[in-house]
């Protein structure tokens, strides 16, 4: 049973649009929430991460919004570009679990030119 539930499974967005991916969790011991980006045929790479003491973190066109009370966090990709077409994984980590990452199922984002 996955500890982090991710949705949607896939999405298509027009160039310049906003992509939104949502993740939810139950384990309140999670203390670190990274997002990984994976291009076809490649391994995942860290994109952006947030800790639960902040509600939002922005890096360029990528923003994580975090709602601790709702146990939800989301990735927003602003001004989506064709080069953003990839699979995105949310994850969470707990010290009580030896800091091992629990990954969501992934969202495949396709940006149409």
Kindly give, in sequence order, each residue whose CB lies less than 8 Å from that of residue 82, ignoring residues fewer than 6 positions away: 15, 111, 112, 113
What does the alpha-carbon distance between residue 102 and residue 100 come to, in Å, rounded to a whole number? 7
Residues pairing with 85 in the sheet: none
The distance of closest approach from Cβ of residue 49 to other proteins in the complex, given in angstroms and rounded to an integer, is 6
Residue 67: both structure tokens together:
């709602």
Q: How far apart are CA 19 and CA 32, in angstroms?
A: 22
Q: Among 13, 20, 32, 52, which residue sits at the site for other proteins (rule: CB under 8 A)?
A: 32
In the numeric block, the tokens 């601790």 are attached to: 68
Q: What x/- string results for residues 37 through 66 when contact with other proteins is judged by CB under 8 A?
A: ----xxxxxx--x-----------------
Residue among 9 and 69 whose Cβ is closer to other proteins: 9
* # binding residues, other proteins (CB under 8 A): 24
Q: Report the nearest approach of other proteins to the CB of residue 80 (Å).
A: 22
List interacting residues with other proteins (CB under 8 A): 2, 4, 6, 9, 32, 34, 36, 41-46, 49, 89, 95, 98-101, 103-106
């Amino acid at each position: 049973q996955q500890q982090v539930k991710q949705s949607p499974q896939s999405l298509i967005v027009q160039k310049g649009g906003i992509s939104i991916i949502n993740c939810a969790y139950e384990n309140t011991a999670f203390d670190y929430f990274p997002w990984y980006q994976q291009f076809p045929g490649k391994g995942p790479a860290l994109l952006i991460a947030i800790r639960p003491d902040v509600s939002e973190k922005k890096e360029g066109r990528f923003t994580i919004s975090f709602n601790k009370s709702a146990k939800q966090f989301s990735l927003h990709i602003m001004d989506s570009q064709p080069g953003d077409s990839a699979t995105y994984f949310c994850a969470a980590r707990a010290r009580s679990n030896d800091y091992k990452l629990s990954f969501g199922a992934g969202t495949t984002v396709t940006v149409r030119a």
